[in-house]
Each structure stands twice: as structure tokens, then as C-alpha cells.
Amino acid sequence: MEIKVLKNVMMKNNAIGGDNRWRLKQSKVFSLNMVSSPGAGKTTLLKHTLGRLTRNHKVAVIEGDLYTSKDALALEQFDIPLIQINTEGGCHLDARMISTAMDNIDLESTEILFIENVGNLVCPASFDLGEDKMVLLYPITEGDDKPSKYATMFQKADLVIINKVDIAPYLNVSPEKAAEEVRKINPDCEILTLSATKMETLDGWFEWIEKEFSLKSQE
């Protein structure tokens, strides 16, 4: 007897993800699912991003973490809707969690929704949350073999951000080589290089968000 448990789980998740996508589209919310390995710099980048975007946009954040609220606490200084999801050891967020979180956000008063996923380069690749774009942070500190080792995640990313390039001179890896490896796995994604701790390197990231937000608004 074959019991297709995983297939059934994925079908249910994708159905809820489709519902999430419809809700976000109806409310004209541009949504980003930010994924990476642990410690890649998602929260640091998000903190600087909120400092910039909240001047002109209505932003909300869904923050995923295994057990703690440390990342959410780092964002509390911003006067925005902020929903914490603790997965209690789960390696990813799923569409049901996002649906429940969205029930606690006024989507009609939101323009951009950031979802900071759990740090993991395997599980989140399989779970559609209903987002418009998947943004993958790839820190240069991890070497240049991650795109081939975690191909599914890199293949699904709409944007790959090669982070921590300020310390590349001290490592045996170049941002250019890392970008080449990403391109081998995903020829269609956009690629940015930056250092999340340095505001002067983030202009391309802000421009990408504004471009995609504008395209979403025209739908």
C-alpha cells in the first residue's frame, strides 16, 4: 500500500497558498518571502529596509522563527503591523501559518508585506506561501557551492542577494564567482550584491523593491 502523505500535505498547502495570493492581490499588497540559511543577514537587511520604506509606504512584517522572538524584537522600533510566528522547531513557514497571520493584519491598509522565513535552504523551497516574489539571501561567507547543493531553493528564487561582500577580500571566494554559480542554477533570476550592514550598498535593493511594487500596482 502506498500512502502519499507528503503529496497530500503539499496539495493542501498549495491550495491555501493560492487563497493567500488571491487575498493579497485583492488588497493590492506586494509580498516578499525572504529566505536564507541561518545567519545570512535577513533581519539586518529587513531592519535597514524598513527604515527606508516606511517613510513612503505602508509596510507589514510576518516574522518566522523556531522558538524565540529575537528577530521580531529587533524590528519593534518601527510603528508597523508585526506578527511573530514560532514554528516550535518546524523548519519553514507554511501557507496556513501565513493565512492566520494575515487575519491579524489590515491588508487594505498595507502596501508591502515582508515575510521573513525560517533560516533553512531546504524546506521553505517546497512551500508556496502565496507571495509575489521569493528573495534569497546568499552570504559570501558560505562559499560558492551552495547554489548546486541547494538547487531547488536557488531555482525558485526571483531575486538572489549575495550578501556580506564587504568581507570578500578576506575569503577565498569572489562575488563574481558566486554570481556565476547562481546563474548556472537559475539563469532567469535577478542578482544583487551588497553588504546588509552598509546603507551605501543598498540602493540597488531599494530600486528593485520600488520597481516590483510599481509593476504589482499596475496589475
List average pLDDT for each run of 10 residues in the chain, which is 219 residues long: 60 94 97 96 96 96 80 83 87 94 97 95 93 97 93 97 95 93 97 97 98 92
What stretch of H or E contains 34? strand 30-36
Q: According to DSSP H, which parts of 89-195 are helical? A: 95-102, 146-149, 151-156, 175-185
Domain that holds residue 196: 5-217
Q: Could you tell me which residues come within 8 angstroms of residue 43 by beta carbon, excluding any fewer than 6 positions away? A: 71, 74, 75, 116
Task: Give me 172's grid cell.
Answer: 577565498
Contact criterion met (CB below 8 Å) for 166 and 198:
yes
> Cα dist. 52→74, 200, 202, 209 in Å?
16, 12, 10, 11
What stretch of H or E contains 25? helix 5-26
Q: How far apart are the first and last CA of the chain?
A: 46
Task: Give me 147's grid cell.
Answer: 547554489
CA dist., res. 194 & res. 61, Å (int): 22
Confidence (pLDDT) at 1: 43
Phi, psi (deg, nearest 5) at residue 32: -125, 130
Domain count, the chain: 1
CA dist., res. 219 & res. 216, Å (int): 5
Residue 49: CATH number of its domain: 3.40.50.300
Confidence (pLDDT) at 219: 82
Task: Give me 212's grid cell.
Answer: 516590483
Q: Cell 507554511: give the residue.
A: 94
pLDDT tens for each residue of 60-101: 999 998 766 666 777 888 989 999 998 877 888 999 999 999
Contact criterion met (CB below 8 Å) for 35 and 150:
no
Phi, psi (deg, nearest 5) at residue 83: -110, 125
